[in-house]
Amino acid sequence: MTWTPSGVLVSTEPTILEMRSITKEFPGVKALSDVNLTVKAGEIHAICGENGAGKSTLMKVLSGVYPYGTYAGDIVYQGEVCRFKDIAASEHAGIVIIHQELALIPTLSITENIFLGNEPARRGVIDWQEAKLRAVELLARVGLDENPDTLIKNIGVGKQQLVEIAKAMSKQVKLLILDEPTAALNQSDSRHLLDLIQGLKGRGITSIMISHKLDELEAIADSITILRDGRTIETLDVVGDGVDEDRIIRGMVGRSLESRFPEHTPNIGEVFFEVRDWTVQHPMVAERLVCKDSAFTVRRGEIVGFAGLMGAGRTELAMSLFGRSYGTYVSGQIIKDGVEIRVPDVASAIRHGMAYVSEDRKVLGLNLLDDIKRSTVSAKLTKISRGQVVDKAEEHAVAEQYRTSLRIKTPSVDEGVSKLSGGNQQKVVLAKWMFTDPDLLILDEPTRGIDVGAKFEIYGVIQQLANQGKGVVVISSELPELLGLCDRIYTIFEGSITNELAARDADPESLMRSMTSSTKKKTSR
């Protein structure tokens, strides 16, 4: 950086990348329209925008996922126009993308994943000893102390992200693209990953980072380019322009969000759902209890939050209650409207008015081969069937109703859900379970990987469900989300519920204390 005679601070770093007038169309949708992006060498350049703004599409153009000829415009990389025919071509040039859905094979080792398709060989034979030695070196560079023979399925998501970066570094990366790298990570793992990205900057590696976590972008990015509706809105110099979260939001949604949460006055009724002494074993390790004598209540019209660190047992509790979808049931009762109910499978849970929105929408929430209309009605086909035959006209009408009410951005409900942005996929999952007309809706990380505008809309949907007298349980890793949305909050530590607080009496510090201690507190009613 240097100062001009007129007193303006400008970058003296050379430009490593220019994307000029990039336009990309899909059938019925123009995903990108004359998008321009300029990235300086050695910087951390963030790209943000609402879901469907075109962020991931732009990076897929850059990385060769969408090859030359399928888009209009030019990619100028290190001063030369590049026409990548595939991912291998972009990687050969030093451009590596790490997608939000990690491209690792769970049943292979760390070493095998790092060098998959790029194995060191001598005379046509893979040299695994050399691969392991290089893997150890790469793991040390990303700060991961793990045996390179460890299978990917045996390490957590945070460590898997580090393996992905080690894999990128094995390819002599010059420009690293990270799509929502911290979306599935807890606070500690996120901080470690962000520190690593800053460390890569010190080694001369340029990074492009897509994220909806605006506080992270404000802390780590040098520049931020904002996309909206497939167009470039502006590029901000984080330090020079005095960028904060409100400034980023204004660029993303075209207006200021006075509050991150819609105004809501709860109308809470009587307890209608109660869990007593719920105990569940780990599915693979019988002596390990993932839920230990858990007990909680939900009132009609109430939004109840569950807070806990990753691995605390929040998801395990939710899935075990929803038709015993996780673990081995040991003991406990579910009481609904004063009567004990038995839900040994998912079908019986649905019949008893329960619904569960998984934290992993692409694996457990949706069949990515289905279209929107089929996905919307899939959890309760009997509602639109006549004599065991699905009424196609009613299926379309129902899906269209939810498309309109939830503002799902798509030209048609006949589109495949795989073509939707993450936020719109989440809305389809919500529609699927709303269609079952549940009394209790459990939402596991409902806004993970979703922009602030879509979050606001989903918060509104949750509040509407509560206003209808339904009970809503929200599991979230974002404490501000729980505090801003919920009426009561339970905390979980190592499979046990440790505290219950009215949201008005809670703050991040009090929640964190209960999330990191096995000592049970007195409940607050």
Give the E-state strand segments of 398-495 in sequence order.
440-444, 471-475, 488-493
pLDDT of residue 112: 94
Task: Say how far apart CA 395 and CA 159 lie, in whole Å.
Answer: 42
Check residue 496 and give its pLDDT.
93
- pLDDT of 126 above 70: yes
Given its phi and psi angles, is residue 53 left (phi above 0), alpha (psi -120 to 50 degrees) or beta?
alpha
Predicted confidence at residue 329, as pLDDT, reads 95
- How many whole angstroms separate alpha carbon 190 and alpha carbon 159? 11
Q: What are phi and psi of 409, to 5 degrees?
A: -80, 100
Q: Given this model, what pLDDT does residue 183 score?
A: 73
Name the superfamily (CATH) of residues 12-253: P-loop containing nucleotide triphosphate hydrolases (3.40.50.300)
Compute the CA torsion angle 150, 151, 152, 154 (nearest 10 deg): -80
Cα distances (angstroms) measured from residue 45 to each of 9, 162, 217, 297, 444: 17, 20, 9, 45, 31
Q: Which helix (H) or strand (E) holds 236?
A: strand 231-237
Q: Residue 68: its pLDDT value, please?
A: 96
Residue ranges in 346-441 assigned as alpha helix (H): 346-351, 372-377, 392-405, 422-434
pLDDT at 258: 63
Q: Once rounded to an integer, what is the mean pLDDT over residues 435-454?
A: 87
Q: pLDDT tens, 333-376?
A: 999 999 999 999 999 999 999 999 988 777 788 888 899 999 99
Q: Which residue has the higher pLDDT, 100 or 111?
A: 111
* CATH fold label, 260-353+438-525: Rossmann fold (3.40.50)
Flag whether pLDDT at 259 surpasses 50.
yes
Mean pLDDT estimate for the chain: 88
Q: Where in the chain is the domain with CATH 3.40.50.300?
A: 12-253, 260-353+438-525
Amino acid at 217: L
CB neighbour burial string for 276-286, b if at least 16 within 10 angstroms, e if fewer: eebbbbbeeee
Instruction: Return the pLDDT at 302.
Output: 97
The H or E element containing residue 29 is strand 29-40
> Does the pLDDT of residue 111 top 80, yes or no?
yes
Tell me, what's the pLDDT at 7?
47
- In three-state secondary structure terms, 253 is helix
Burial of 116 (0-12, 13-18, 19+ CB in 10 A): middle
422 confidence band (pLDDT: 50, 70, 90): confident
Q: Give the mean pLDDT of 288-307.
A: 95
Decide if pLDDT at 397 tops 80: yes
So what's the pLDDT on residue 287? Answer: 83
> Is residue 63 pLDDT above 70, yes or no?
yes
What sign has the CA pseudo-torsion 512, 515, 520, 525? positive
Q: Are 317 and 360 in contact (CB under 8 A)?
A: no
> pLDDT tens, 237-249?
998 888 888 888 8
pLDDT of residue 6: 45
Residue 133, classed as helix, strand or coil, is: helix
Q: Answer yes or no: are the C-beta atoms of 230 and 53 closer than 8 Å.
A: yes
User: How many residues would you count in the chain?
Assistant: 525
pLDDT digits (tens, 9 = 90+) for 8-28: 444 457 999 999 999 999 877
With H, G, I as helix, E, B as strand and everything else as coil, classify residue 326.
coil
Q: Decide if pLDDT at 429 tops 50.
A: yes
pLDDT of residue 482: 93
**Looking at the predicted structure, is the pLDDT value of residue 177 above 70?**
yes
**Number of other residues whose CB lies within 10 A of the CB of residue 464:** 15
